[in-house]
Amino acid sequence: MLCLSDEVLEGHVIAKFFVPSELDCLHRCVLSDNCVSFNYQRLSFKSTRRTCELNDVTLLSSGETLVRRNGYSYKEPIELPYDVSNRVHLDQKVE
């Protein structure tokens, strides 16, 4: 996963959530049809919930630069190069 601290991508947020962890933010991005990157609030002194902003572009595809925002991170999940329909389930025997 690409991770850039204290920077965010602005102008491409398609959804905003308040989540308890970075993993929850990543999960929301992966489940969204249009999410390809996200901004995550790493530090919050007022709440246990953190801001999660889903973006519909990546840094490269947007052609823009990141904006400094202390306490946040810009992240791009990496797609795995395999067909999910061919995964082995935990209860299947591998031969």
The sign of the dihedral angle between the CA atoms of 71, 74, 79, 85 is positive
pLDDT in tens, the chain (95 residues): 889 999 999 999 999 999 999 999 999 999 999 999 999 999 888 788 999 999 999 998 998 899 999 999 999 987 655 555 554 444 444 45
Q: What pLDDT does 83 receive?
A: 52
